[in-house]
Structure 1
C-alpha cells in the first residue's frame, strides 16, 4: 500500500478550503483524477471516509474535519522549517494576488519589486477585479492576498494599511481656462461602491459649485481620457494622473479634498501558509509614493 506523503495532506487542506476537487486540482497544478486518486489513497490507508458529496461540491465528514484541523499546523510547520533552513530567499510557490485598478497602479509596482528582490522563487499570479468580487475570492480561497482601497472590515480577514494617496479634482486644461465649474459641468466618478465616490459627493456638497450630472465609469484610465477630452470633471488618485498633469492635459479645477484614499493589503484571518504570511508582512512595509 502506498504510504501517505506531504502532498496528500496538502491535497486535503486545499479541497477543504476550496470546496471542490476541481478547484484543488487547479490550485495544485494537477488534474482532477489525480486529486481523486490521492483522496482514495488517504481513505484506503486510514480506513475512513473523509469527504461527502453535496451537490457539485464536497464537505468534510466529522473525522475528515478533525484530520484536516490536525494536519494544517503540520503543513505550515513543515513549510516554515524549509523557509527557516533556506532563508526567505529560498521560499517557493505560486501566490495569487487580486487588486483593484487603482490599487494596482498605486501599490503593485513597489510590491512586485520587493518580491523579485527578496523572494525570487515565488511566482505571482495577479488579476485585476472589483473589490466585492476580490473579497469573495479571498474568503473562498481562490485568492491568497488582495490589495484594495479601504478600510475593509470583515471578521474573516486580516488587513494591514499600506499608505494613502492624495485625491485631486481635475478637468481638461481647456475646461479650466474657460472657468471650470463656472458653467455646470458633468461630473464623472467610479461606481458608488468606491470610497472615491463618497469623497466626490462630499466635496461637491461642500464646494457648492453647480454640476450638470454625475456619470460613472468602472475604468479609471477610460475616465482619464474622457476628462482630458473636455467632457467634464472628476476626482482622481494623484498617483494615476501625474503624467497628464505634467503634460498640461489636465489641471486642478477645485481644491483637493481633505480626505485621502487609504489602501490595505488583506489575507484570510486564519492564513497559515508561511509564504503568504511572509508576503503579507512585506506588503505591510510598503509605502505608497
Structure 2
C-alpha cells in the first residue's frame, strides 16, 4: 500500500477546483488514468470515498471536502516556503495564459521575456482568444492568468489594471488622399462583442456618417492589412498601427475617439498556487505601451 504523499493531496485539490479528472490531469501534466489511480490510493489508505459523480462533474463527499480544506493551506504553505527559500528562482510548472490580440501585441512580449529570464523553470502555454471566451476559460479553470479588455467584474475573479490603448480612425494612404469620408466608405470592425465595435458605431453616429457597408473581421492584424491596402477605414489600436502611421501607409481620417480600451490581468479569486500568484503580481506591474509622441 502506497503512503499518502504531497502529490496525492495536490491531485485532490485540482479535481475539486476544476471538477473533472480529465481537467486535473491536463493541469498536472499527467493522464486521467494516473489521476484515477491516485484517488484510489488515497481512498484505500483512508478507507473512505472521497468523490461522487454529479452529472459530468466529480464532487467531493463531506469527508473529502474536510480533507481538501485541511490539506490546502498545508500544501500551499510548504510550496511557498520552498519558493521563498530560493527567491522563487526554482519555481516550476505549467502556467496557461490567455490574452486578447491587442493586449498580446501591446504587453505580452515584455511579460514573457521577464518570466523566461527570472522564472526559467516555468513553462508557458499561451492562447489568444476573445475576451468573453477568456473569461469563461479562467472561471472554468482551463486558463490560469488572462489579459482581458475591461473593465470586467466577476465575484470569481481578481483583476489588476494594466493600462489602456488609444484608438485611431485610420484608412490607407490612397483613401485618405481621396478625401476619406468625403464620400461613403466601407468600414471594417471587430465583431459586435468587441469594445472596438461599440466605439466604431458611436463615433460614426456622432459625426453623422453612414458607411457604404459595415464589415467585420475577428482578427485585428488582418483588419490592419485590409485597411492599409485601401479597402475602407476602421477604428484601430494606436499601439498596433504606430509604425504604419509613421511611414504613411495608414493615415488618420477622423478625430481620435475619446474612448480608449482598458485592459486588466486576471486570475481566479480562489487561486492559491504560489507560482501563479507570483506571475500575477508581475502581470499587475505591467503597463501597456502608451500613445506615441
Instruction: State if a TM-score over 0.5 links the two structures.
Output: yes
1:272 counterpart = 2:272 = yes
Q: SS at the partner of 1:90?
A: coil
Q: SS at the partner of 2:110?
A: helix
1:100 alignment partner in structure 2 = 100
2:202 alignment partner in structure 1 = 202
2:149 alignment partner in structure 1 = 149
Q: Is the 8 A contact 1:105 1:240 kept in 2?
A: yes
> How much has 1:196 moved relative to structure 2?
1.3
1:270 & 1:163 partners in 2: Cα distance? 24
> CA deviation digits over 1:52-85, x for unaligned, max 9?
1233331111111221122221221111111111
Q: Is the 8 A contact 1:162 1:287 kept in 2?
A: yes
TM-score (norm: length of structure 1) = 0.96
Q: Any gaps of 5 or more consecutive residues in structure 1?
A: none
CA RMSD of aligned residues (A): 1.2
1:13 alignment partner in structure 2 = 13
1:185 & 1:288 partners in 2: Cα distance? 31
Q: SS at the partner of 2:98?
A: strand
Q: Is the 8 A contact 1:174 1:230 kept in 2?
A: yes
2:116 & 2:285 partners in 1: Cα distance? 15
1:149 & 1:109 partners in 2: Cα distance? 17
1:71 counterpart = 2:40 = no
> CA deviation digits over 1:108-128, x for unaligned, max 9?
011112212322221111011
2:66 & 2:199 partners in 1: Cα distance? 47
> After the TM superposition, which residues 254-273 of structure 1 pair with which residues of structure 2 at under 5 Å, given as runs?
254-273=254-273
> After the TM superposition, which residues 8-47 of structure 1 pair with which residues of structure 2 at under 5 Å, given as runs?
8-47=8-47
> After the TM superposition, which residues 126-205 of structure 1 pair with which residues of structure 2 at under 5 Å, given as runs?
126-205=126-205
> After the TM superposition, which residues 220-239 of structure 1 pair with which residues of structure 2 at under 5 Å, given as runs?
220-239=220-239
TM-score (norm: length of structure 2) = 0.95
1:89 & 1:239 partners in 2: Cα distance? 32
Which of 274-283 and 55-64 deviates more? 55-64
Q: Any gaps of 5 or more consecutive residues in structure 2?
A: none
> CA deviation digits over 1:219-252, x for unaligned, max 9?
1111111111211110111111122222321110
1:164 & 1:88 partners in 2: Cα distance? 30
> How much has 1:272 moved relative to structure 2?
0.8
> How much has 1:167 moved relative to structure 2?
0.7
> How much has 1:276 moved relative to structure 2?
0.6
1:253 alignment partner in structure 2 = 253
Equivalences, count: 289
1:109 alignment partner in structure 2 = 109
Ranges of 4+ aligned residues in structure 1 off by more than 3 Å: none
2:117 & 2:253 partners in 1: Cα distance? 40
1:173 & 1:268 partners in 2: Cα distance? 45
Which of 129-138 and 6-15 deviates more? 129-138
Which of 206-215 and 107-116 deviates more? 206-215
2:47 & 2:107 partners in 1: Cα distance? 49
> CA deviation digits over 1:182-219, x for unaligned, max 9?
00111111111111111222211222234222221111
Q: SS at the partner of 1:244?
A: helix
